Amino acid sequence: MSNSTDRKVRANISLTLDGRHSGPGGPGDLGAIVPYAVTEVARDHLTRIWEGATTAVLGRLNAEGFLGYWPSVADDENADPRDRGYAKWLVDAEKVVLSRTLTRAPWERARVVNAPVADVVTELKATGGGDILVNNSASVIKALLAADLLDRLYLMICPEIAGGGQRLFDDGLPASKWTLTRQETGALGEMALIYDRVR
């Protein structure tokens, strides 16, 4: 049994220059983000995100959205090997779906948990091995930032201003310090950044 300090909690998300993870059209408005998700830098970043992680934590929206997309990529021999690697990892990994409304898990190797994010992640940290990855689920990432439970942030910064939509960094989060451990800039001006929490 690992102790709670072994497992790191990591999160990945793409943001516009004005700090938004979706545009003014709502959660599905990803027009300022999608063009940068398939660049060389983004695909290399995607590989770094999941390596060493054994558990995926997802909000309901992402769990349902990912289910419609990633399993087919895992089976597609013509897909980019980096996309396929992530897809296979996601299909095979333990998945914890945080939801108040789902009654059964939308994926194999997944379980639905209706409990506060911080409690669920604290419990995951105390059991098992390998890192815990929060996959692009802004509501979960916000809750972990509020509870100061994130150890690493993988950010893709897209060089567009959305002008509206949901922000990741809301007012009222506790102050925290981070160190930049990796940075890469792509041909379109997108930036892949890895920040580690300074404790």
Task: Tell me the domains of the chain and their CATH numbers.
Answer: 9-36+50-197 (3.40.430.10)
**18: its two tokens:** 């004005």
- Going across the sheet that includes 9-16, the strands are 110-113, 94-98, 53-59, 131-135, 9-16, 152-158, 191-197, 178-185
Strand blocks (E) in the chain: 9-16, 53-59, 94-98, 110-113, 131-135, 152-158, 178-185, 191-197
- Distance CA(20)–CA(22), nearest Å, equals 6
Question: What pLDDT was estimated at residue 64?
Answer: 87
Question: What pLDDT was estimated at residue 128?
Answer: 84
Residues lower than pLDDT 70 in the chain: 1-5
Question: What pLDDT was estimated at residue 176?
Answer: 97
pTM of the full structure:
0.92
- Tokens 């398939």 found at: 38
Question: What pLDDT was estimated at residue 153?
Answer: 98
Question: What pLDDT was estimated at residue 105?
Answer: 84
- Tokens 């567009």 found at: 160
- Distance CA(23)–CA(181), nearest Å, equals 28
Question: What pLDDT was estimated at residue 181?
Answer: 98
Question: What pLDDT was estimated at residue 5?
Answer: 54
Cβ neighbours, 10 Å, residue 41 = 17
Question: What pLDDT was estimated at residue 4?
Answer: 47
